[in-house]
Structure 1
């Protein structure tokens, strides 16, 4: 089971500080998880510029120019944010019993561990 999933609120915990033009300390939602590369794409974090070659669409309009979009960052550089304290925290798993249609089933569930002073 994965620690970070699409839609989670995460905080960048490494890299340059915001005062030096970096993204450390920024929070954002996970847009995409690249499991094979162990990377995540976070909304509003790690913007890069991409130069796109000019081309034409079906309707004849021109495309291309300079685009900015989020680039993936390594999973180890982000931490999940605890929904109660709004601080980065670690993730644990516990088994819970779920009753559905009269049938009990044991399921592994993610939970935010108690947030430390400042992870």
Structure 2
């Protein structure tokens, strides 16, 4: 079961600090999870400059130029944020029994472990 999913609030826990121009300590929502590469794209984090070739659309308007987009960041460099304390925390799984239409099933559920001082 995945520890990080699309829509989760995460915090960058490694890399250059914000005083040195980095993203460590910043929080953002996960836009996309790239499972094959063990990377995630986080909203507002790890911006890169992308140069796109000038082209033309059907209406004749010009496209292209320089734009900034979020680049993927490795999953080991982020941590899930505990919704209660708003601090980075570890993720655990537990089995809960869910009854639906008279049938009881065991379902694995994610939960935020106790967050310490800093992760």
TM tier, smaller: over 0.9
After superposition, give the CA deviation of every residue in 1:58-112 in whole Å (9 maximum; x if it has no partner): 1111001101010000000000000000000000000000111121110000000
The list of structure 1 runs, each at least 4 consecutive aligned residues, that deviate by more than 4 angstroms after superposition, is none
Could you say which residue in structure 2 is the equivalent of 1:5?
A: 5
Unpaired runs of at least 5, structure 2: none
* Mapped partners of 1:92, 1:15: distance in 2: 25
Correspondence 1:18-97 to 2 at 5 A: 18-97=18-97
Taking structure 2 as the reference length, what is the TM-score of the superposition?
0.99
* Mapped partners of 2:22, 2:111: distance in 1: 29
* Mapped partners of 1:48, 1:58: distance in 2: 28
Taking structure 1 as the reference length, what is the TM-score of the superposition?
0.99
* Mapped partners of 1:36, 1:28: distance in 2: 22
